Amino acid sequence: TRRRIRIKAPATLRVMLVSGPRGCGKTTLVGMLKEADPRFCEPEWVATGDVDRGDNPRVRIISEDEFADVRESDAFTASFRPYGFGGEQVDFGLPTQAVVDAATRGGACVLDVDSIAARKILDYPWVEALALLAPKQDITLRFVSVWVSLPSLDDVIVRNRERLTAMLPAGAPSSAVERQLAPLRAQTTDDLEWALTSRSFDFTIINEDKETAAQELLDKVRYCFDVVS
């Protein structure tokens, strides 16, 4: 019998999720938000091996048994089985407790995630899970979701072409960029359609100018967390 996970949480749990197509500047905006409002902290993900951390720089390695304890307690907001750097599949996830810990440290947790993780986190039964994981607490969940994008699919592709071209090693053919853009276009098309039709996001920010977009993000978050009761 595995150990049942229990968590401790603040009376009001403030969580903001920021997602969007690759290359649209969401990570930059999250960084600017954290500088402007120090309440926002990012959580620590866990993995059973070394993985590509992507937008999740805080990753702690745990044992397979520890990972199984959390998973069997339904205490992951999202989990995956990506390939590690050694070619083996590893378990990778975001524990609910990590979200709570981040929110407790500063007052709010910010989740900077790609669309794949966003779908899992937005589908997570937060209210039911918190009641199960913290049965003796009365927790109020304040969850805000923000989609960051550009005006059109073509704009996203142009931005990513520029980004990938700047990353090319000296002498590498430009065709290497186009090979990467083909699957990215397909994924971005799917992401944009999902964001539009799923109605999963409270706000959309079009990031044509990062200073303007960062202020818009800050205004929306402060309104949701500080004004609306």
Question: What tens digit of pLDDT does each residue of 137-157 get?
Answer: 888 899 999 999 999 999 999
Largest Cα separation within the chain, whole Å, is 62
Indicate the SS3 state at residue 130. helix
Indicate the SS3 state at residue 100. helix
CA distance 160 to 211: 20
Question: pLDDT tens-digit profile of 39-77?
Answer: 999 999 998 888 765 655 688 899 999 898 888 876 888
Question: Cα torsion for 218, 43, 27, 164, to the nearest 10°?
Answer: -170
CA distance 59 to 120: 18
* 202 token code pair: 């409270």
The predicted model scores a pTM of 0.88
Phi, psi dihedral angles at 141 (to 5 degrees): -95, 125
Q: How far is CA 106 from the centre of its chain?
A: 18
